[in-house]
Amino acid sequence: MENLLSNVDWLEIGWASWDTLVMVGLSLLFSVLIGLPLGVLLFLTGKRQLLEQPMAYAVLSFVVNVLRSVPFIILLIVMIPVTVMIIGTSLGVAGAIPPLVAGGAPFFARLVETSLREVDRGIIEATQAMGATVRQIIFGALLPEALPGIIAGITVTAITLVSYAAMSGVVGGGGLGDLAIRFGYQRFQTDVMVITVALLVVFVQLLQMAGDRLVTYFSRR
């Protein structure tokens, strides 16, 4: 046993896990803060929707598609100047957050748009017939009705961000991915690699379980 995990520095692993948690947590927070309004806007400006705006929809949709089609590893590099501008550095945990948000927010926005489209049109019509404003329709009917779908979207986004965060180790992002690359890959310490991957698997499992529970709790169907 001693020999099997001889390269593993548990304190290092602990810090790296903490860094991953912080990266995923903060980038998830900002992805939701940006992606939710963006998704609502995508939905509202879409075809035959409350605020149909073909031009606005086309522009928003294009930006989201571009961000989503760039492979994350490329986005990490392309975002470096922007990150330096916002954070002051492109390294470490803080430096990883802007590219993570750039990848996570548009992804989440699409998921929000989809779950809003799932809401029965009849409910929007009924709310309109009650004399609701667009704002009241969004906050009183659309978002509460789409809540289970939005929570499922947050879960999927969080899991995507876990794997993105691991990737950010390549450009010096910190966290478990960084550890796996520096020790597991570059120094051929297979045991470190195995432990980090195992921790990531556990992390993803926990996220999915928590997400599923919340979805069940908020589904009244």
Partner 1 sequence: MIEFDQVQKSYEVGGRAIPALKATSMTVAAGEVFGIVGHSGAGKSTLVRLINLLERPTGGRILIDGENVTDYNAEQLRGFRRKVGMIFQHFNLLSSKTVADNIAFPMKLAGIYSRQQIRDRVDELLARVGLSDHASKYPSQLSGGQKQRVGIARALACRPSILLCDEATSALDPQTTQSVLRLLADINRELGLTIVLITHEMDVVRRVCDRVAVMDAGEVVELGAVSDVFLHPEHPTTRDFVFESENIDRDELQEDLSHAEGRILRLTFRGESTYKPLLGKVARESGVDFSILSGRIDHIKDTPYGQLTLSLVGGDLDIAMAALKAADVHVEVLR
In degrees rounded to 5, what are phi and psi of residue 49?
-110, 180
**d(C-alpha 174, C-alpha 196), whole Å:** 13
Q: If binding is defined by CB under 8 A, does position 127 make contact with partner 1?
A: yes
H-type helices in 118-189, by residue range? 121-129, 134-136, 143-167, 176-179
* 101, 108 Cβ separation under 8 angstroms: no
**d(C-alpha 84, C-alpha 151), whole Å:** 32
Identify which range of 17-25, 27-35, 119-127, 179-187 contacts partner 1 by CB under 8 A: 119-127
Q: Pick the binder of partner 1 from 2, 47, 122, 186 (CB under 8 A).
A: 122
Sign of the alpha-carbon torsion through 58, 36, 23, 85:
positive
Total number of residues that touch partner 1 (CB under 8 A): 21
**d(C-alpha 198, C-alpha 217), whole Å:** 29
Cβ 145 to partner 1 shortest distance, Å: 5
Residues 143-172 that bind partner 1 (CB under 8 A): 144-145, 147
Identify which range of 41-49, 97-105, 166-174, 213-221 contacts partner 1 by CB under 8 A: 213-221
Pick 36 or 141: Cβ nearer partner 1:
141
Identify which range of 51-59, 125-133, 178-186, 196-204 contacts partner 1 by CB under 8 A: 125-133
Task: Give contact residues for partner 1 (rule: CB under 8 A).
Answer: 120, 122-123, 125-133, 136, 140-141, 144-145, 147, 218, 220-221
